Chains A and B, each alone.
Chain A
Amino acid sequence: MSELFRIAIVGSGPSGLSAAAHAAARGISHVLLEKTDHLSDTIFRYQRGKHVMATPAQLVLRADCEFQAGKRETVLAQWNADAKAAGVNVRYNAEAKAISGAKGDFSVQLTSGEVVRAETIILAIGTQGNPNLMRCEGAELPHVQYSLDDPAAFVDEHIFVVGAGDAGIENALGLAADAAQGNTIYLLNRSADFSRPKEANVKNLFQARDNGRINVMTDTSPSKVEPGWITLETPQGSNRLRCDRIIARMGSAPPRKFVEAAGIAFTSESAEAFPRLSPTFEGATPGIYVIGALAGYPLIKHCMNQGYDVVEYISGATDLKPADEPILEAKLQGLPGRLSVSEWLEFLRSRVEILYGLSPLQMREFLLDSEVRAFRKGEVIFEKNATGSSLFGIAQGGVGVRIDPKDPSKMVPIGQGSIFGEVGLISGRRRGATIVATEDTVVVEIPRTAALKLMASVPEAREKVNRITTERQILQIFRAGLSPADLKEVIPAVEVMEVKPGKAIIKEGEAGDDIFIIRSGSMIVEKTVGGKEVFLSYVPAGSYVGEMAVIDGSLRTATVKATIRSTVLRLPGAPFRKLLDAKPELRARMLADMTSRRDINAFIETRKDEFGDVVDMYSSVAGFLVDQGIGDATDVLLIDETLCIGCDNCEKACADSHDGLSRLNREAGKTYAKLHVPTSCRHCENPYCMTDCPPNAIQRGPDGEVFISDACIGCGNCQRNCPYDVIRMDKVPPPKPKLWEWMLFGKGPGPGEPDKAWLKTQPKPAVEAPKVAIKCDMCTGRAGGPACVRACPTGAAIRVSPEEFLTVTLLERGSG
Chain B
Amino acid sequence: MATLLCVTLTAAYFLIDVRPRHSGGTWMGYSLGALGAALIVWLALLGVRKRAVTAGHYSLKAWVSAHVYLGLSLTVIATLHTGFQFGMNVHTLAYVLMMLVIVSGLFGVWAYASLPNLLSANRGETTRRQMLDALATLDGQLHEAAQPLDRDMAAIVRLSLEKTDIAGGYWQRVFGLYGGCANDRAIERLARARQGARGPEAETLAQIDALLRKKAEALAFARRQVRITALLEGWTFVHVPMTFALLAALTAHIVSVFFYW
A-to-B contact residues, CB < 8 Å? 207, 210-212, 641-647, 649, 652-653, 656-657, 665, 667-671, 674, 676, 739, 743, 750-751, 782-784, 787, 789-796
Contacts and interface: CB of A to CB of B under 8 A. Distances in A.
B249 interface: no
A784 B58 contact: yes
Given A207-B137, A211-B141, A656-B53, A793 B125 contact: no
A154 B119 CA distance: 46
Contact of A789 (B59, B63, B233): B59
Contacts of A667: 123, 127-129
Nearest to A179: B144
Closest 10 CB pairs of A and B: A641-B120, A667-B127, A795-B61, A790-B59, A656-B53, A784-B57, A751-B51, A783-B55, A793-B64, A657-B53
Nearest to A643: B116
Contacts of B12: none
Contacts of B141: 210-211
A785 to B, nearest CB: 8
A671 B123 CA distance: 10
Given A653-B53, A671-B120, 6 more contacts: A210-B141, A211-B144, A667-B127, A782-B55, A795-B61, A796-B116
B229 A739 contact: no
B60 A790 contact: yes
A645 to B, nearest CB: 5
13 contacts: A211-B141, A641-B117, A641-B120, A642-B120, A657-B53, A667-B128, A671-B125, A674-B117, A743-B51, A784-B55, A787-B53, A792-B60, A794-B61
B229 to A, nearest CB: 6
A783 B119 contact: no
Contact of B116 (A646, A652, A657, A782): A646
Contacts of B112: 643, 645, 794
A91 B207 CA distance: 58
B87 to A, nearest CB: 35
B232 A645 contact: yes
Given A791-B60, A794-B61, A794-B64, A642 B116 contact: yes
A782 B55 CA distance: 6
Interface string B107-145: 000011001110110011101110000000100110010
A705 B58 CA distance: 22
B127 A649 contact: no
B140 A211 contact: yes
A185 to B, nearest CB: 16
A793 B61 contact: yes
A670 B116 contact: no
Nearest to B228: A646
A40 B151 CA distance: 55
A561 to B, nearest CB: 26
Given A211-B141, A645-B232, A783-B56, A668 B124 contact: no
Contact of A792 (B59, B115, B137): B59
Contacts of B63: 793
Contacts of A789: 59
B4 interface: no
Counting chain B CB atoms within 10 Å of each CB, the highest count among A645, A657, A670 belongs to A645
Nearest to A207: B137
Contacts of A792: 59-61
B189 interface: no
Contacts of B61: 790, 792-795
B48 interface: yes
Classify chain B's interface size: 35 or more
Contacts of B53: 653, 656-657, 751, 787, 791
B120 to A, nearest CB: 4
Counting chain A CB atoms within 10 Å of each CB, the highest count among B116, B117, B141 belongs to B116
Contacts, number: 95
B52 interface: yes
Nearest to A653: B53
Contact of B52 (A739, A782, A784, A793): A739
Nearest to B232: A645
Interface string B71-111: 00000000000000000000000000000000000000001
B163 interface: no
Contacts of B58: 784, 790
A670 B125 contact: yes
B125 A669 contact: yes
B50 A793 contact: yes
A429 to B, nearest CB: 26
Contacts of B48: 739, 743
B131 to A, nearest CB: 10
Contact of A649 (B60, B129, B144): B60
A512 to B, nearest CB: 40
Counting chain B CB atoms within 10 Å of each CB, the highest count among A653, A751, A791 belongs to A791
Counting chain A CB atoms within 10 Å of each CB, the highest count among B48, B59, B124, B232 belongs to B59
Nearest to B133: A207
Interface string B188-205: 000000000000000000
A743 B48 CA distance: 8
Contacts of A656: 53
Contact of A644 (B55, B120, B137, B144): B120
A190 B8 CA distance: 79
Contacts of A793: 50, 60-61, 63-64
A667 B123 CA distance: 9
B222 to A, nearest CB: 13
Contacts of B116: 641-646, 794, 796
Contacts of A643: 112, 116
Nearest to A794: B112
B10 to A, nearest CB: 30
Contacts of A671: 120, 124-125
Nearest to A650: B60
A212 B144 contact: yes
A739 B233 CA distance: 21
Nearest to A674: B120
Interface in B138-180: 140-141, 144
A643 B113 CA distance: 7
Contacts of B120: 641-642, 644, 671, 674, 676
A790 B51 CA distance: 12
A646 B64 contact: no
A211 B211 CA distance: 12
Contacts of B140: 211
A59 B37 CA distance: 62
A324 to B, nearest CB: 39
A646 B64 CA distance: 16
A642 B116 CA distance: 5
A665 B58 CA distance: 24
B145 to A, nearest CB: 10
Given A667-B127, A792-B59, A793-B60, A646 B51 contact: no
A358 B134 CA distance: 57
Nearest to B117: A642
Contact of A646 (B119, B129, B137): B119
Contact of B56 (A642, A670, A676, A784): A784
Counting chain A CB atoms within 10 Å of each CB, the highest count among B51, B63, B117, B119 belongs to B51
